[in-house]
Amino acid sequence: MELYGSTRSRVARNHALICPDSFVRAALPGWTKTQGIILIAPVLGARFTQYLAVMEPGAIAGPAAPGVERFVYVLEGTIKHSFGSKRTLDAGGYLFVPAGTQITLEAQTAARLNIFEKPFVSLPGCSAPAPVVGREQDIQGAPFMGDPDALLQTLLPDQPAFDLAVNLFRFRPGAALPLVEIHVMEHGLLMLAGRGVYRLGDSWYPVQAGDVIWMASFCPQWFVAMGKEQAGYLYYKDVNRDPLGSKA
Ligand code: UGY
Ligand code: MN
């Protein structure tokens, strides 16, 4: 237990580490019986939002803002939704709701969700993406850049219609990103399991399950898994769009 007045959380120009001891709950506009924890938002410098929704049984989600798409990942509990043939999602289940699409969400039990939202950016000549529902348990992990100890699960279709990707990365202890990445895409990340060290810019942070990270565009980034358990994280990135705007 740390002495009061200290935290591992850090907010910097091009990255942030938000640890659970810093989480602050507040009502989510339009949601019933739900507490939200806004983790990453445009006021921080991001172009997207990441938040946790802590729902009581029977809680109902409000809609995303106009023009905003939403990706929901179930951390705990069971939720009911109105899309597709199987209408419930448990831990590891996820749902992508395109901008302007009405899909209802209701907590069947107490539930905790991680949500990413961004304004949808259309691509001329490409139709808007369709809703997606799935379970991480059904997605095969692929060795990242040839490393079988760093497995990447891609939760959304890798198609130009989608302007976002949400992936799960699982690392055996000792496995690491093979390079210090510097890229135009930004990330929102939730550590789901294990621990390790994240390099963000010129700082190295010990991280563990429950921690949240924002990486701005071009923030140098690298991770090594440490400890005895597999480490894993869920992360968002913006993809498939020209940095200068639409290309017909
Ligand atoms: O997809 C990515 O950019 C990923 N390799 N980045 C990361 O894990 N920090
Ligand atoms: Mn990256």
Segment 148-174 shows an average pLDDT of 98
Q: Which residue has the tokens 């939730």?
A: 190
- Span between the terminal Cα atoms of the chain, in Å: 56
Q: How far is the CA of 82 from the centre of ligand 1 (A)?
A: 32
Segment 94-111 shows an average pLDDT of 98
Q: Is the CB of 181 under 6 A from ligand 1?
A: yes
At residue 247, does pLDDT exceed 80?
no
138-238: CATH, from 1.10.287.40, 1.20.1250.20, 2.60.120.10, 3.40.50.300: 2.60.120.10
3-class SS of residue 21: helix
Q: Is the CB of 153 under 6 A from ligand 1?
A: no
pLDDT in tens, 52-78: 999 999 999 999 999 999 999 999 999
Query: What pTM does this model have?
Result: 0.97
User: For residue 10, what pLDDT is reported?
Assistant: 98
Q: What is the Cα–Cα distance from 40 to 46, expressed in whole angstroms?
A: 7
Residue 81 and residue 96 in contact, taking contact as beta carbons nearer than 8 Å: no
Residue nearest to atom 2 of ligand 1 (CA): 237
pLDDT in tens, 172-185: 999 999 999 999 99
Q: Is the CB of 221 under 6 A from ligand 1?
A: yes
Segment 102-111 shows an average pLDDT of 98
Give me the residue spans of the domains in the chain: 24-127, 138-238
Residue to mutate, 162, 168, 169, ligand 1, most ligand atoms under 8 Å from C-beta = 169
Segment 42-52 shows an average pLDDT of 98
Q: What is the Cα–Cα distance from 210 to 100, expressed in whole angstroms?
A: 31
24-127: CATH, from 3.40.50.720, 2.60.120.10, 3.30.70.270, 3.40.630.30: 2.60.120.10
